[in-house]
Homo-oligomer: A and B are copies of this chain.
Amino acid sequence: MTFAQTLGRRAEQIDAELANLFVSGAAAATPSRLREAMRHALLGGGKRVRPFLVVESAGLFGAPFEQASAAAAAVECIHCYSLAHDDLPAMDNDETRRGRPTVWKAFDDWTAILAGDGLLTLAFEILAAPPAHPDATVRAELALLLARASGPAGMVGGQALDLAWEKLEQSGQATADQVRELQAMKTGALITCACEMGAVVGGADEDGRRALRTYGNALGFAFQIADDLLDAEGDPAKTGKAVAKDQALGKATLVELWGAARCRDLLAQLQDECRAALDPFGAKAATLIAAAEFVANRDR
């Protein structure tokens, strides 16, 4: 089985878990229009990279899919709420995503805002409820990790920095350090969090958690650089979105600041960091190491 097949099979499992939230899960009692908008935001395809990382990281410590699926679903709720809000006309003003209309385009702005709020809240309902894990200490720890990574000092803060650069016509060009900080908050924090949440679900000790954090940090950075390279050079027929959008917006990327060649070198170095972090786990870590290669080499 290729890595893409492994990822695809996990995505099917995750999709089933997410769809079930609206059937017998925490979102079953949602009023109809809001429920449809939340479903649109959550069930619109996507590679499910973050939940995959939760599940595979938990697996490193012996936890089966069923034990990690709630944490995985919660992370994807956060990711999808952030897309629904980021796509809004008041934010990035995107009309399509993954070849489908964005939530505000398919419904309207107020419905997209509330669908995002609903998914965000749902993530914490999933984590706090006993089915997520029998040990309340684990549930509280998962909620804390996710809130920190996705909140004002994490993902939301990164998006605020990003939009401030874009919309407030700040003078001068962003420095590489500023771009790095922004990306680490906006994209990296949630990816690292997914890996560490998996470790927590699996009952990892502090060494284990640290290894997964190190892996997650390198992977998240690689993910962002690959994304920027794709945006600068990718094939729109494959990525399904307009290429050079970041450049058109004047948004600074490391590719722009450092050039593509240096970024490709950095990608290789980050893959080495991913491998080194997981070295103590031996062959069990093969899937997560393949994930790092996949992220670095993806063409869409």
Contacts and interface: CB of A to CB of B under 8 A. Distances in A.
Interface of A: 26-31, 33-35, 38, 81, 85, 88, 90-91, 108-111, 113-114, 116-118, 120-122, 124-125, 127-129, 136-137, 139-141, 143-144, 146-148, 150-153, 156-157, 159-161, 163-164, 167-168
Contact of A90 (B113, B125, B136, B137): B113
A125 B147 contact: yes
B121 A151 contact: yes
Contacts of A38: 152
Given A30-B153, A156-B34, A164-B33, A116 B118 contact: no
Contacts of A156: 34, 114, 117-118, 121
23 contacts: A28-B153, A29-B157, A31-B157, A34-B156, A38-B152, A81-B117, A90-B109, A110-B167, A111-B163, A114-B160, A116-B117, A117-B117, A117-B120, A121-B150, A121-B151, A122-B147, A122-B151, A124-B143, A124-B146, A124-B147, A125-B147, A128-B147, A143-B143
A118 B148 contact: no
B27 A152 contact: yes
Can you list the 3 inter-chain pairs with the closest CB atoms, starting with the nearest? A125-B147, A121-B151, A90-B109
Given A30-B152, A117-B85, A160-B31, A110 B125 contact: no
Contacts of A143: 124, 127-128, 140, 143
Given A31-B161, A90-B110, A151 B85 contact: no
B121 A120 contact: yes
Indicate how many identical chains form the complex.
2
A230 to B, nearest CB: 25
Nearest to A133: B140
A125 B151 CA distance: 8
A103 to B, nearest CB: 12
A119 to B, nearest CB: 8
Contact of A159 (B27, B35, B114): B114
